[in-house]
């Protein structure tokens, strides 16, 4: 079984596949595709040839051949492969399929005789990385992008700014989240590497909440609030002051810089969790002061805007104007919008739906993903129980998740749900994500590729997922997840101690993992982490590791 599963697939017998791989590129996009082909199959020598008759692999992009974007056809017969794609992304999708068709066993490469016609249902297929929380080293970032490409995702959302500051070294005077923050040159490297796979990079500047770092640097960005005795209090800096023009001057400068670095359509402005008033014991408070702020009231009262929601809409429209002037389309989280009634914000804002706000955390009554569709918005489905791989995602639920309908109701307008996004909050600082991410991506890619057709609830599904994660050297019939507590997705965060089943044959698993010779960057990261877990499991059984070491190195973050 391939991940994502092709729409049309006819399999035949296996045939030898000759190496080095002789590739004929019929056009400029096909020549560009030699780079992702090498990245996906780094251990197979790839030689470009000038004559079609000499090639074992023929690549071509024919823009008018198919109606659907990213569509491709792949045929293999007697070890010779032909690929035709509508566009460059379709060609990269075909190469991702090719990597799973190849098998290496007993020193011989083989490939199935096959006819495939394939295309995605979802136009927007994304992973959210969280460099604000953890700046992945550049090689690890490349490995994640490569794994995305093999899962046929086409958008990388980078959560760059949050309460600690910015995950890159901005020229605007703004707090930096980490001493390891990316340089602008490194961001451009990430963008260029992703572009080689047809992946767009979406930056997120999370405002106006999540702003402790910024309001610590600029205390004047806090709201001006008087206490019971008439004295000014030290207001919470969770939200920047919506009525302070100085805040918008800084926002405009940061967005201009982001627009210059990131060449693609979308810029995400966050807007989530404006007021978490239920966390009354939290210090500092995660609340908005706009309704009692002197400056906000002086600014908004003449406009007839008195509530947090009304003032938030004004903020959205103000930032929307900046992004529009920069040639960008706004994207934001949904939970601060009272969608129970028509909100006065532009309908071309792309809504990322992650939840209806919890009680005392924003608008709840009458709100739903369905209501955003009713109001004419396009929506990206990032519903947190289904898409948050760091904690909530479960294999049993993911197998049947349909991004167009869950959590919308039966009358959903599926054409307005443009796709879905897997969110990896915390990044690789969460130990279980060092392996769960590479296992989750192929399965999540399938749900966006196929949506209404569930992943089968059988052993073939986990054997196929094992092979999608570990590559062409995986022994036929090997199911890694027979030896683990479950398919390790978000719930792996809560596993204690040994992640393998008590009856697992650790020497067998270790021998198979150590024997994988044809490893791309992503497979190498996954294999190294699984081998470390095998060693750790053996040490636990021998009583070698101490409890403190387990807590530091182990799965439970």
Closest to 464 measured CA to CA, from 482, 448, 478, 485: 478
The residues with which 381 forms a beta bridge, in sequence order, are 353, 420
Start-to-end C-alpha separation, the chain: 33
Mean pLDDT split into 10-residue runs, the chain, 557 residues:
96 94 97 97 95 96 94 97 98 98 94 97 97 96 98 98 97 96 98 98 98 97 94 95 98 98 98 94 93 98 98 98 98 98 98 95 95 96 95 95 86 86 90 94 98 94 97 95 92 85 83 94 96 88 57 39
Cα–Cα distance, 153 to 120 (Å, whole number)? 10
Burial of 227 (0-12, 13-18, 19+ CB in 10 A): exposed
b/e code 289-328 from CB counts within 10 Å (16+ = b): bbbebebbbebbeeeebeebbbbbbbbbeebbebbeeeeb
386 Cβ contact partners less than 8 Å away, ≥ 6 residues apart: 392, 393, 397, 398, 401, 406
Helix pair 506-514, 521-542: axis angle to 10 deg: 150
Tell me the whole-structure pTM to 2 decimals.
Answer: 0.95
Nearby residues of 301 by Cβ (< 8 Å), 6 or more positions away? none
Residue 52 CB neighbour total at 10 angstroms: 12
Contact partners, residue 192, CB within 8 Å, separation at least 6: none
E-state strands within 216-348 = 266-270, 329-333
Backbone angles phi, psi at 341, to 5 degrees: -135, 165
Contact assessment for residue 205 and residue 161, using Cβ atoms and an 8 Å cutoff: yes
- The pLDDT value given to residue 538: 84
- Residue 532 buriedness (CB in 10 A; 0-12 / 13-18 / 19+): middle
Instruction: Select from 285, 276, 312 the least CA-distant residue to 296.
Output: 312
| Confidence (pLDDT) at 545 | 55
Are 222 and 236 a contacting pair, CB within 8 Å? yes
Structural contact between residues 225 and 232, judged by C-beta atoms closer than 8 angstroms: yes
Question: What pLDDT score was predicted for residue 554?
Answer: 42
Residue 389, SS3 per DSSP: coil
- Which domains does the chain carry? 8-118 (3.30.379.10), 124-145+162-429 (3.20.20.80)
pLDDT score of 408 = 79
- How much is the pLDDT for 547? 43
CA-only gyration radius of the chain, Å? 25
**Separation between Cα atoms, residue 497 and residue 499, nearest integer Å:** 6
- Given this model, what pLDDT does residue 503 score? 65
Task: Give the dihedral of Cα atoms 525, 531, 533, 537; nearest 10 deg.
Answer: 180
The answer to whether residues 424 and 439 touch, using CB atoms and an 8 Å cutoff, is no
For residue 501, the model assigns a pLDDT of 85
Query: Do 377 and 407 form a contact (C-beta atoms < 8 A)?
Result: no
pLDDT digits (tens, 9 = 90+) for 242-289: 999 999 999 999 999 999 999 999 999 999 999 999 998 888 999 999
Asked if residue 387 lies in contact with residue 421, where contact means CB atoms within 8 angstroms, the answer is yes
Annotate 399-439 with DSSP letters as a single string. Answer: TT--TTTSSS-TT--GGGEEEEEEE-TTGGGSTTHHHHHHH
Which H or E run includes 25? strand 21-25
In Å, how far are 307, 311, 333, 424 from 273, measured between CA atoms? 16, 15, 9, 18
pLDDT per position as a tens digit, 430-479? 889 999 999 999 999 999 999 989 999 999 999 999 999 999 999 999 99
Q: Other C-beta atoms within 10 Å of 469: how many?
A: 26
């Amino acid at each position: 079984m391939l991940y994502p599963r092709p729409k049309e697939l006819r399999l035949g017998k296996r045939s030898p596949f000759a190496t080095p791989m002789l590739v004929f590129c019929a056009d400029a996009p096909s020549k560009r595709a030699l780079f992702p082909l090498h990245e996906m199959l780094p251990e197979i020598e790839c030689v470009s040839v000038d004559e079609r008759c000499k090639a074992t692999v023929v690549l071509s992009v024919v823009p008018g051949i198919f109606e659907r974007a990213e569509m491709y056809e792949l045929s293999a017969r007697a070890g010779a492969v032909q690929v035709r794609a509508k566009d460059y992304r379709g060609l990269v999708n075909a190469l991702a399929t090719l990597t799973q068709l190849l098998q290496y066993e007993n020193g011989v490469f083989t490939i199935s005789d096959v006819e495939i016609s394939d295309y995605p249902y979802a136009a927007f297929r994304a992973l959210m990385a969280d460099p604000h929380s953890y700046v992945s080293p550049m090689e690890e970032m490349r490995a994640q992008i490569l794994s995305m490409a093999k899962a046929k995702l086409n958008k990388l959302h980078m959560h760059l700014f949050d309460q600690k500051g910015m995950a890159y070294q901005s020229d605007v005077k703004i707090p930096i989240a980490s001493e390891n923050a990316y340089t602008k040159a490194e961001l451009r490297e990430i963008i260029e590497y992703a572009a080689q796979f047809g992946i767009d990079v979406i930056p997120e500047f999370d405002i106006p909440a999540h702003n402790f770092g910024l309001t610590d640097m600029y205390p004047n960005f806090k709201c001006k609030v008087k206490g019971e005795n008439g004295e000014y209090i030290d207001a919470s800096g969770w939200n920047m002051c919506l009525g302070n023009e100085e805040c918008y001057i800084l926002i405009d400068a940061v967005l201009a810089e982001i627009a210059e670095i990131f060449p693609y359509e979308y810029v995400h402005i966050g807007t989530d969790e404006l007021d978490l008033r239920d966390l009354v014991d939290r210090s500092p408070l995660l609340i908005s002061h706009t309704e009692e702020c002197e400056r906000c009231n002086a600014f908004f009262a003449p406009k007839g805007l008195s509530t947090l929601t009304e003032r938030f809409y004004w903020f959205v429209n103000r930032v929307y104007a900046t992004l529009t002037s920069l040639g960008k389309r706004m994207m934001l989280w949904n939970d601060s919008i009272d969608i129970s009634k028509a909100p006065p914000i532009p309908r071309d804002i792309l809504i990322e739906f992650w939840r209806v706000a919890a009680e005392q955390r924003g608008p709840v009554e009458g709100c739903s993903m369905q209501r955003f569709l009713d109001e004419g918005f396009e929506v990206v489905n990032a519903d947190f129980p289904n898409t948050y791989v760091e904690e909530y995602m479960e294999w049993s639920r993911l197998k049947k998740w349909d991004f167009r309908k869950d959590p919308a109701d039966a009358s959903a307008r599926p054409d307005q749900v443009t796709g879905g996004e897997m969110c990896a909050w915390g990044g690789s600082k969460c130990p279980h994500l060092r392996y769960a991410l590479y296992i989750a991506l192929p399965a999540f890619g399938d749900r966006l590729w196929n949506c209404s057709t569930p992943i089968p609830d059988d052993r073939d599904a986990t054997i196929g997922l094992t092979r999608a994660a570990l590559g062409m050297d995986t022994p036929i019939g090997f199911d890694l997840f027979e030896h683990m507590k479950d398919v390790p997705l978000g719930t792996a965060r809560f596993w204690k101690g040994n992640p393998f089943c008590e009856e697992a044959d650790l020497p067998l698993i270790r021998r198979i993992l150590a024997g994988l010779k044809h490893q791309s960057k992503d497979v190498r990261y996954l294999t190294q982490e699984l081998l470390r877990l095998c060693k750790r499991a053996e040490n636990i059984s021998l009583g070698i590791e101490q409890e403190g070491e387990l807590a530091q190195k182990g799965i439970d973050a």
